[in-house]
Amino acid sequence: TPLSDATLGRLPGTVRRPRYDRARLSPGIVHIGLGNFHRAHQAWYLHRLMDDGAAQDWAILGAGVRPADAAQRARLRGQDCLTTLIELAPSGTSAEVTGPMIDFLPVEDGNAALIARMAEPDIRIVSLTVTEGGYYRDASGGFDADDPDIRHDAANPQTPRTAFGAMVAALRRRRDTGAGPFTGLCCDNLQGNGAVLRRTVVSLARLSDPDLADWIDATCSFPNAMVDCIVPATGPKEIALAQGFGIDDAAPVTHERFRQWVMEDEFCAGRPEWERVGVTFTDDVHAYEMMKLRLLNAGHQLLANAGELLSVETVAGCMEHPGLRHFFQTVEMQEIAPEVASVPEMSPQDYVALIVRRFSNAAIVDTTRRVAFDGSSRHPGFLHPTIRERLASGRGIDGLALAEALWARMCTGLREDGSEIVPNDPRWDHLVAAAQEARTRPAAWLESTGLYGDLAHDRRFAEAFQAWLSQLHRDGTSPILERFAART
Ligand code: NAD
């Protein structure tokens, strides 16, 4: 029998289910971008709070602005908007049915229903997960007023096609009716994500109504927030996992046990008491972001470039490779952690121990290919700043130089077993050309990728990098990882 309010009572006793009466919940949040991550992360925190008897007036209304979201709406409404969360912990798998979302708004051209609902005073937070690329930023990170969607919404502010156009239209009504501002809460993986959301919404409003833009900027809040939880996509395997628990869920979500949500306490129209269920409120989200980007996201690059060369398919598989695991731990502990500041709950060394455990979880199938994606933005964003800081203070960069050499070797486009690496970067052709040239002249990688800036001419870095890349081409990845281990 399909999952529904009516069948909740018949689920096996091993499945945890909502302890609150869903019929008594009333909405407070509209969430745009009802993929997997929201349901495993933000919605779970709210669910736990509701289990505790709190936040019964903060239920979620799901929403989507893309035609493809209609299918998700049908799936979720077909099961009373319930979601099964399946936790994949090394110690075992468990399932829980969650119900903080009570409806999914119509997905339609012009977004009339979404705008009307966001204009009602009971909605006090509009949250989003629309992917990192969904914020209409240009190459330099600024607002992209030339994007066709943005031009459309500027010319047709009553019938927008973007989430931001819908927010602007709803805020216009709220200003005019006296319903007041709401909080825009970005839950995408972007540095300074609240500031990014504010800029997109305010800049779009300014194109059609400068007074409204000023009102939004002055009255709405857009807290910066750092989100973390590894949540794979759902396919037949995940649906079968739910069935194994006796649950017929059309869209279950799997996730790791670890979750983190750190945000600024800036909510112009109130918020649920999330601090009661493990959310950290702080004025210094930046410090938590730096810890995550420099250690976790950079760590993914340390593993994935070598993992691709060695044809290791998953992050957990990379952590099982002795040479690669040693390389990862040594670079993280000896070269990166000393450059990262502590946060109140954790030192960078404890954070490394935590990600070693998370990355080693073989129940989570996170592919090397996914993690190796977009090196041309990830290496400059996550690794190069640490290299610069260490060079400036005269500290060693041997392992980080090897990480860059592994990336340059990966970008030749062939694994060591001769198989081809499917393009995994927007600048792939350019990177392959530079990597090929660097086979015989390693400095070519630093010069012609255009991604290293001053680092390309730093003698200590360039020499270490060139030595590692020549050795990688001559001897192969595993022997070089062993040589690195012998030196450290
Ligand atoms: P998903 O593919 O399951 O869902 C993405 C959702 O965003 C869909 O509803 C889609 O329709 C919508 N969307 C995509 N592009 C859009 C656009 N341009 N405008 C409006 N809506 C758009 O992905 P997910 O796993 O839910 O992840 C979503 C985001 O959450 C990620 O991009 C990331 O920023 C953040 N996040 C995810 C994870 C994870 O492990 N999955 C971890 C941390 C953060």
Give the number of the atom of ligand 1 that is nearest the alpha carbon of residue 230: 40
Residue 454 C-alpha to ligand 1 middle, in angstroms? Answer: 35
Task: Please list, in sequence order, all residues whose beta carbon lies within 8 angstroms of the beta carbon of residue 454, skipping any fewer than 6 positions away.
Answer: 388
CA distance 28 to 31: 10
Residues 162-167 have a mean pLDDT of 98
- Judged against a pLDDT cut of 90, whether residue 232 lies above it is answered with no
Residue 32 C-alpha to ligand 1 middle, in angstroms? Answer: 10
What was the pLDDT predicted at 35? 93
- Judged against a pLDDT cut of 90, whether residue 133 lies above it is answered with no
What was the pLDDT predicted at 273? 98
Ligand 1 pocket test: pick from 36, 42, 129, 164 the residue with the most ligand atoms within 8 Å of its Cβ.
Answer: 129
**Is-contact 256 88, C-beta < 8 A?**
yes
**Burial of 162 by CB count in 10 Å (0-12 exposed, 13-18 middle, 19+ buried)?**
buried
Q: At CB < 8 A and 24+ separation, what contacts does 271-277 make?
A: 271/124, 271/125, 271/183, 272/28, 272/46, 272/49, 272/54, 272/55, 272/58, 273/49, 273/54, 273/55, 274/45, 274/46, 274/49, 276/49, 276/52, 276/54, 277/45, 277/48, 277/49, 277/52
Give the number of the atom of ligand 1 that is nearest the alpha carbon of residue 33: 9
Mean pLDDT of the chain: 96
Task: Please list, in sequence order, all residues whose beta carbon lies within 8 angstroms of the beta carbon of residue 456, skipping any fewer than 6 positions away.
Answer: 446, 447, 462
CA distance 399 to 332: 9
Residue identified by tokens 């073989």 is 362
Residues 92-114 have a mean pLDDT of 98
Give the number of the atom of ligand 1 that is nearest the alpha carbon of residue 32: 21
Give the number of the atom of ligand 1 that is nearest the alpha carbon of residue 72: 9
Give the number of the atom of ligand 1 that is nearest the alpha carbon of residue 131: 32
- Judged against a pLDDT cut of 80, whether residue 1 lies above it is answered with no
Q: What type of residue is 348?
A: P
**Burial of 454 by CB count in 10 Å (0-12 exposed, 13-18 middle, 19+ buried)?**
exposed
Residue 193 C-alpha to ligand 1 middle, in angstroms? Answer: 14
Residue 189 C-alpha to ligand 1 middle, in angstroms? Answer: 9
Domain limits, the chain:
8-283, 286-487
Residue 449 C-alpha to ligand 1 middle, in angstroms? Answer: 29
> 253-292 pLDDT, tens per residue?
999 999 999 999 999 999 999 999 999 999 999 999 999 9
Residues 280-307 have a mean pLDDT of 97
Residue 482 C-alpha to ligand 1 middle, in angstroms? Answer: 38
Residue 127 C-alpha to ligand 1 middle, in angstroms? Answer: 12
Residue nearest to atom 21 of ligand 1 (CA): 130
Residue 130 C-alpha to ligand 1 middle, in angstroms? Answer: 5
Residue 5 C-alpha to ligand 1 middle, in angstroms? Answer: 27
- Judged against a pLDDT cut of 80, whether residue 426 lies above it is answered with yes
Give the number of the atom of ligand 1 that is nearest the alpha carbon of residue 163: 20
Give the number of the atom of ligand 1 that is nearest the alpha carbon of residue 37: 26
C-alpha 419: how far from its chain's center? 29
Residue 152 C-alpha to ligand 1 middle, in angstroms? Answer: 23
Residue 105 C-alpha to ligand 1 middle, in angstroms? Answer: 18
Match domain 8-283 to its CATH number in 3.90.400.10, 2.40.160.40, 3.40.50.720, 3.40.50.1220.
Answer: 3.40.50.720
> 434-482 pLDDT, tens per residue?
999 999 999 999 999 999 999 999 999 999 999 999 999 999 999 999 9
CA distance 103 to 26: 10
Residues 191-212 have a mean pLDDT of 97
- Judged against a pLDDT cut of 90, whether residue 243 lies above it is answered with yes
Query: Between the CA of residue 204 and those of 154, 167, 180, what are the distances in Å?
Result: 7, 10, 19
- What top-level class would CATH report for the domain 286-487? mainly alpha
Ligand 1 pocket test: pick from 31, 75, 130 the residue with the most ligand atoms within 8 Å of its Cβ.
Answer: 130
Whose CA is closest to 379, among 462, 437, 293? Answer: 293
Give the number of the atom of ligand 1 that is nearest the alpha carbon of residue 189: 34
**Residue 377 pLDDT level (bands cut at 50, 70, 90):** confident
Residue 378 C-alpha to ligand 1 middle, in angstroms? Answer: 18
Residue nearest to atom 18 of ligand 1 (CA): 134
Ligand 1 pocket test: pick from 131, 231, 293, 358 the residue with the most ligand atoms within 8 Å of its Cβ.
Answer: 131
Percent of the chain with pLDDT over 90: 95
Q: Answer yes or no: is the ipTM higher than 0.90.
A: yes
- Judged against a pLDDT cut of 80, whether residue 139 lies above it is answered with no
Give the number of the atom of ligand 1 that is nearest the alpha carbon of residue 34: 9
Give the number of the atom of ligand 1 that is nearest the alpha carbon of residue 38: 26
Q: What type of residue is 242?
A: A
Q: Which residues line ligand 1 (CB under 6 A)?
A: 33-38, 64-66, 68-69, 129-132, 134, 163, 188-189, 227, 229-231
Residue nearest to atom 32 of ligand 1 (CA): 131
